[in-house]
A and B are shown apart, each in its own frame.
Chain A
Amino acid sequence: MNPTLFKASKAAVATGKSFSKNVIFCAIAFTANGSTFAGANDGVVYFMQGTAVKTKVQFADKSTKKCFISAVNTFVESDT
Protein backbone atom coordinates (compact mmCIF):
# COMPACT_ATOMS: atom_id res chain seq x y z
CA MET A 1 0.00 0.00 0.00
CA ASN A 2 1.32 3.44 -0.80
CA PRO A 3 2.02 5.79 2.13
CA THR A 4 -0.84 8.13 1.27
CA LEU A 5 -3.34 5.33 1.17
CA PHE A 6 -1.94 3.81 4.32
CA LYS A 7 -2.34 7.14 6.09
CA ALA A 8 -5.82 7.50 4.65
CA SER A 9 -6.91 4.07 5.76
CA LYS A 10 -5.49 4.66 9.22
CA ALA A 11 -7.34 7.97 9.37
CA ALA A 12 -10.50 6.27 8.20
CA VAL A 13 -10.21 3.60 10.84
CA ALA A 14 -9.74 6.35 13.42
CA THR A 15 -12.83 8.24 12.29
CA GLY A 16 -14.79 5.22 11.09
CA LYS A 17 -16.14 7.26 8.22
CA SER A 18 -14.41 6.83 4.92
CA PHE A 19 -13.97 3.10 4.55
CA SER A 20 -15.93 0.07 5.49
CA LYS A 21 -14.62 -1.80 8.50
CA ASN A 22 -11.63 -4.04 7.76
CA VAL A 23 -11.49 -3.09 4.12
CA ILE A 24 -8.60 -4.58 2.13
CA PHE A 25 -7.28 -2.85 -0.98
CA CYS A 26 -6.64 -5.24 -3.82
CA ALA A 27 -5.68 -2.78 -6.59
CA ILE A 28 -4.34 0.75 -6.78
CA ALA A 29 -3.83 3.20 -9.65
CA PHE A 30 -2.86 6.84 -9.87
CA THR A 31 -4.17 9.53 -12.18
CA ALA A 32 -1.88 11.99 -13.97
CA ASN A 33 -2.69 14.68 -11.40
CA GLY A 34 -1.81 12.50 -8.43
CA SER A 35 -5.24 11.35 -7.33
CA THR A 36 -5.66 7.72 -6.37
CA PHE A 37 -8.13 5.00 -7.26
CA ALA A 38 -8.17 2.12 -4.83
CA GLY A 39 -10.21 -1.01 -5.41
CA ALA A 40 -11.26 -2.79 -2.26
CA ASN A 41 -12.76 -6.08 -1.16
CA ASP A 42 -16.04 -4.41 -0.23
CA GLY A 43 -16.96 -3.95 -3.91
CA VAL A 44 -16.12 -0.25 -3.90
CA VAL A 45 -13.51 1.72 -5.85
CA TYR A 46 -12.42 4.64 -3.67
CA PHE A 47 -11.42 7.82 -5.50
CA MET A 48 -9.06 9.77 -3.30
CA GLN A 49 -7.31 13.10 -3.42
CA GLY A 50 -4.54 13.14 -0.86
CA THR A 51 -5.95 11.31 2.13
CA ALA A 52 -9.53 12.38 1.51
CA VAL A 53 -12.04 10.04 -0.12
CA LYS A 54 -13.80 12.15 -2.75
CA THR A 55 -16.03 9.53 -4.34
CA LYS A 56 -17.02 5.97 -3.68
CA VAL A 57 -17.84 4.02 -6.81
CA GLN A 58 -20.06 1.01 -6.22
CA PHE A 59 -18.74 -1.50 -8.74
CA ALA A 60 -21.34 -4.24 -8.50
CA ASP A 61 -24.95 -4.09 -7.47
CA LYS A 62 -25.13 -4.19 -3.67
CA SER A 63 -27.63 -7.03 -3.88
CA THR A 64 -25.14 -9.28 -5.67
CA LYS A 65 -22.69 -11.53 -3.88
CA LYS A 66 -19.66 -9.86 -2.34
CA CYS A 67 -17.41 -8.54 -5.08
CA PHE A 68 -13.66 -7.96 -4.84
CA ILE A 69 -12.19 -5.21 -6.98
CA SER A 70 -9.15 -7.06 -8.21
CA ALA A 71 -7.86 -4.73 -10.95
CA VAL A 72 -7.78 -0.96 -11.39
CA ASN A 73 -5.99 1.25 -13.89
CA THR A 74 -6.27 4.70 -15.41
CA PHE A 75 -5.87 5.88 -18.97
CA VAL A 76 -6.37 8.98 -21.05
CA GLU A 77 -8.71 8.58 -23.99
CA SER A 78 -7.04 9.50 -27.25
CA ASP A 79 -8.68 12.09 -29.55
CA THR A 80 -7.72 10.13 -32.61
Chain B
Amino acid sequence: MVAGGSNKQIKVFQVSGSTVTPLISHDVAGSPVSVDVLNGQLLAGLKNGSIVEMKDCMQQTATKENLIECHWDGETWGLTVVEEDGSNMFLTAGDDNRLFLFDMISRKVIGRGLVNLQPPKKKVYKKGAWKGGASSLGKFDFKWQSRALAYNHHLNHVAIARNDGSVSIREVEGIEQAQEGRGDVLDLNKEFRVL
Protein backbone atom coordinates (compact mmCIF):
# COMPACT_ATOMS: atom_id res chain seq x y z
CA MET B 1 0.00 0.00 0.00
CA VAL B 2 1.24 3.46 -0.79
CA ALA B 3 -0.01 6.63 0.86
CA GLY B 4 0.77 10.31 0.69
CA GLY B 5 0.21 12.93 3.35
CA SER B 6 0.05 16.67 3.68
CA ASN B 7 3.50 16.52 5.34
CA LYS B 8 4.91 16.12 1.80
CA GLN B 9 5.82 12.49 2.30
CA ILE B 10 4.98 9.32 0.40
CA LYS B 11 5.23 6.07 2.33
CA VAL B 12 5.15 2.51 1.09
CA PHE B 13 3.76 -0.18 3.40
CA GLN B 14 3.79 -3.95 3.21
CA VAL B 15 0.47 -5.61 3.91
CA SER B 16 0.39 -9.14 5.23
CA GLY B 17 -2.92 -10.36 6.60
CA SER B 18 -4.05 -7.57 8.89
CA THR B 19 -0.49 -6.44 9.58
CA VAL B 20 0.65 -3.25 7.87
CA THR B 21 4.39 -2.57 8.10
CA PRO B 22 6.06 0.64 6.95
CA LEU B 23 8.81 -0.08 4.42
CA ILE B 24 10.09 3.19 3.12
CA SER B 25 9.40 6.91 3.12
CA HIS B 26 10.15 9.45 0.41
CA ASP B 27 10.07 13.24 0.65
CA VAL B 28 8.54 15.11 -2.28
CA ALA B 29 8.26 18.77 -3.25
CA GLY B 30 4.56 19.16 -2.49
CA SER B 31 1.65 17.40 -0.83
CA PRO B 32 0.82 14.26 -2.82
CA VAL B 33 -2.88 14.21 -3.71
CA SER B 34 -2.84 11.16 -5.98
CA VAL B 35 -0.55 8.12 -6.16
CA ASP B 36 -0.32 4.94 -8.22
CA VAL B 37 2.31 2.43 -9.30
CA LEU B 38 3.06 1.64 -12.96
CA ASN B 39 5.43 -1.25 -13.68
CA GLY B 40 7.28 -0.72 -10.40
CA GLN B 41 7.51 3.04 -10.84
CA LEU B 42 5.69 5.16 -8.35
CA LEU B 43 3.76 8.06 -9.83
CA ALA B 44 2.49 10.87 -7.67
CA GLY B 45 0.38 13.89 -8.50
CA LEU B 46 1.23 16.78 -6.24
CA LYS B 47 -0.73 19.75 -5.02
CA ASN B 48 1.72 22.04 -6.82
CA GLY B 49 0.50 20.51 -10.10
CA SER B 50 3.59 18.47 -10.92
CA ILE B 51 3.74 14.73 -11.47
CA VAL B 52 6.68 12.91 -9.93
CA GLU B 53 8.04 9.62 -11.22
CA MET B 54 10.02 7.50 -8.76
CA LYS B 55 12.00 4.56 -10.10
CA ASP B 56 12.89 1.77 -7.66
CA CYS B 57 10.43 3.18 -5.14
CA MET B 58 11.26 0.37 -2.71
CA GLN B 59 14.80 1.69 -2.35
CA GLN B 60 15.77 4.67 -0.20
CA THR B 61 17.95 5.80 -3.10
CA ALA B 62 14.99 5.93 -5.50
CA THR B 63 15.49 8.45 -8.27
CA LYS B 64 12.85 11.15 -8.38
CA GLU B 65 12.11 12.93 -11.59
CA ASN B 66 9.50 15.53 -12.38
CA LEU B 67 7.66 13.93 -15.24
CA ILE B 68 5.52 17.03 -15.69
CA GLU B 69 6.20 20.35 -14.03
CA CYS B 70 2.63 21.53 -14.22
CA HIS B 71 -0.72 19.87 -14.95
CA TRP B 72 -1.85 22.56 -17.39
CA ASP B 73 -3.00 25.01 -14.70
CA GLY B 74 -3.96 23.23 -11.51
CA GLU B 75 -3.44 20.57 -8.86
CA THR B 76 -3.16 16.94 -9.97
CA TRP B 77 -6.00 15.43 -7.96
CA GLY B 78 -6.56 12.28 -9.99
CA LEU B 79 -3.95 9.82 -11.21
CA THR B 80 -4.55 6.23 -12.22
CA VAL B 81 -2.59 3.76 -14.30
CA VAL B 82 -4.25 2.04 -17.26
CA GLU B 83 -4.27 -1.60 -16.24
CA GLU B 84 -3.78 -3.33 -19.56
CA ASP B 85 -1.20 -6.00 -20.30
CA GLY B 86 2.09 -4.31 -21.09
CA SER B 87 0.52 -0.89 -20.60
CA ASN B 88 2.71 2.11 -19.98
CA MET B 89 -0.10 4.59 -19.80
CA PHE B 90 -1.66 6.58 -17.02
CA LEU B 91 -4.49 9.09 -16.74
CA THR B 92 -4.52 12.31 -14.79
CA ALA B 93 -7.17 14.88 -13.93
CA GLY B 94 -6.85 18.18 -12.17
CA ASP B 95 -8.78 21.10 -10.81
CA ASP B 96 -7.89 22.85 -14.08
CA ASN B 97 -10.75 21.14 -15.98
CA ARG B 98 -8.22 18.97 -17.82
CA LEU B 99 -7.96 15.22 -18.29
CA PHE B 100 -4.85 13.70 -19.89
CA LEU B 101 -3.69 10.27 -20.97
CA PHE B 102 0.10 9.94 -20.88
CA ASP B 103 2.38 7.36 -22.43
CA MET B 104 5.48 6.67 -20.35
CA ILE B 105 7.53 5.30 -23.27
CA SER B 106 7.14 8.20 -25.68
CA ARG B 107 6.65 10.66 -22.78
CA LYS B 108 3.80 12.23 -24.66
CA VAL B 109 0.18 13.11 -24.08
CA ILE B 110 -1.76 10.60 -26.17
CA GLY B 111 -5.26 11.54 -25.00
CA ARG B 112 -7.01 14.72 -23.91
CA GLY B 113 -10.33 15.63 -22.44
CA LEU B 114 -12.19 17.98 -20.14
CA VAL B 115 -13.43 17.30 -16.62
CA ASN B 116 -16.70 19.08 -17.35
CA LEU B 117 -17.91 19.38 -20.94
CA GLN B 118 -19.98 22.49 -20.25
CA PRO B 119 -18.33 25.83 -21.10
CA PRO B 120 -16.08 26.62 -18.12
CA LYS B 121 -16.75 29.31 -15.59
CA LYS B 122 -14.17 31.13 -13.54
CA LYS B 123 -14.68 31.26 -9.81
CA VAL B 124 -17.23 33.87 -8.83
CA TYR B 125 -18.62 33.35 -5.36
CA LYS B 126 -21.45 35.29 -3.85
CA LYS B 127 -21.15 36.11 -0.19
CA GLY B 128 -22.41 33.22 1.89
CA ALA B 129 -22.87 30.92 -1.11
CA TRP B 130 -21.67 27.33 -1.02
CA LYS B 131 -18.19 27.24 -2.51
CA GLY B 132 -18.29 23.60 -3.51
CA GLY B 133 -16.53 20.54 -2.12
CA ALA B 134 -12.93 20.42 -1.00
CA SER B 135 -10.94 23.64 -0.97
CA SER B 136 -8.75 24.45 -3.93
CA LEU B 137 -6.57 27.18 -5.33
CA GLY B 138 -7.76 26.33 -8.85
CA LYS B 139 -9.06 29.09 -11.09
CA PHE B 140 -12.16 27.20 -12.15
CA ASP B 141 -15.49 26.87 -10.44
CA PHE B 142 -15.87 23.67 -8.38
CA LYS B 143 -18.00 21.98 -11.05
CA TRP B 144 -15.01 22.10 -13.40
CA GLN B 145 -12.58 20.63 -10.88
CA SER B 146 -11.72 16.95 -10.65
CA ARG B 147 -11.08 15.25 -7.34
CA ALA B 148 -10.57 11.56 -8.22
CA LEU B 149 -10.14 9.29 -11.20
CA ALA B 150 -10.56 5.59 -11.94
CA TYR B 151 -10.15 3.44 -15.04
CA ASN B 152 -12.05 0.23 -15.78
CA HIS B 153 -9.99 -1.81 -18.24
CA HIS B 154 -12.79 -4.34 -18.85
CA LEU B 155 -15.11 -1.68 -20.27
CA ASN B 156 -12.51 0.95 -21.24
CA HIS B 157 -14.35 3.46 -19.12
CA VAL B 158 -12.89 6.38 -17.22
CA ALA B 159 -14.71 7.71 -14.15
CA ILE B 160 -14.02 11.31 -13.20
CA ALA B 161 -15.23 12.50 -9.82
CA ARG B 162 -15.87 16.22 -9.71
CA ASN B 163 -15.78 18.62 -6.82
CA ASP B 164 -19.57 19.08 -6.94
CA GLY B 165 -20.12 15.40 -6.07
CA SER B 166 -20.95 14.23 -9.59
CA VAL B 167 -19.13 11.51 -11.53
CA SER B 168 -18.71 11.56 -15.30
CA ILE B 169 -18.15 8.23 -17.05
CA ARG B 170 -16.28 8.39 -20.38
CA GLU B 171 -15.86 5.77 -23.06
CA VAL B 172 -12.32 5.45 -24.40
CA GLU B 173 -11.91 3.99 -27.88
CA GLY B 174 -8.63 3.10 -29.59
CA ILE B 175 -6.41 3.13 -26.52
CA GLU B 176 -4.11 0.41 -27.90
CA GLN B 177 -3.62 2.17 -31.23
CA ALA B 178 -2.85 5.39 -29.40
CA GLN B 179 -0.13 3.72 -27.37
CA GLU B 180 1.39 2.27 -30.51
CA GLY B 181 1.61 5.80 -31.87
CA ARG B 182 -1.10 5.23 -34.46
CA GLY B 183 -3.91 7.67 -35.03
CA ASP B 184 -4.65 11.04 -33.53
CA VAL B 185 -4.59 12.10 -29.92
CA LEU B 186 -7.45 10.26 -28.21
CA ASP B 187 -10.63 12.10 -27.44
CA LEU B 188 -11.53 11.55 -23.78
CA ASN B 189 -14.72 13.59 -24.02
CA LYS B 190 -17.13 10.82 -25.04
CA GLU B 191 -19.41 11.07 -22.05
CA PHE B 192 -21.35 7.90 -21.42
CA ARG B 193 -23.18 8.81 -18.27
CA VAL B 194 -23.19 11.32 -15.42
CA LEU B 195 -23.95 10.06 -11.93
Contact = CB atoms under 8 A, between A and B. Distances in A.
Interface of A: 27, 29, 31, 37, 39, 43, 45, 47, 49, 54-55, 57, 59-60, 64-65, 67-75, 77-78
A49 B18 contact: yes
Interface centre among B6, B36, B47 (most CB of A within 10 A): B6
13 contacts: A31-B15, A39-B5, A47-B15, A60-B5, A64-B7, A67-B7, A71-B44, A72-B3, A72-B35, A73-B1, A74-B2, A74-B15, A77-B40
B33 A37 contact: no
B contacts with A: majority SS: strand
Contacts of B18: 47, 49, 54-55
A78 to B, nearest CB: 6
Contacts of A45: 1, 3, 13, 20
Nearest to B37: A75
Contacts of B2: 71-75
Interface residues of B, number: 29
A69 B3 contact: yes
A70 B33 contact: yes
Interface of B: 1-7, 9-11, 13, 15, 18-20, 22, 31-37, 39-40, 44-45, 47, 58
Contacts of A72: 1-4, 35
Given A29-B1, A37-B3, A70 B32 contact: yes
A78 B86 CA distance: 13
Contacts of B7: 59-60, 64-65, 67
B18 to A, nearest CB: 4
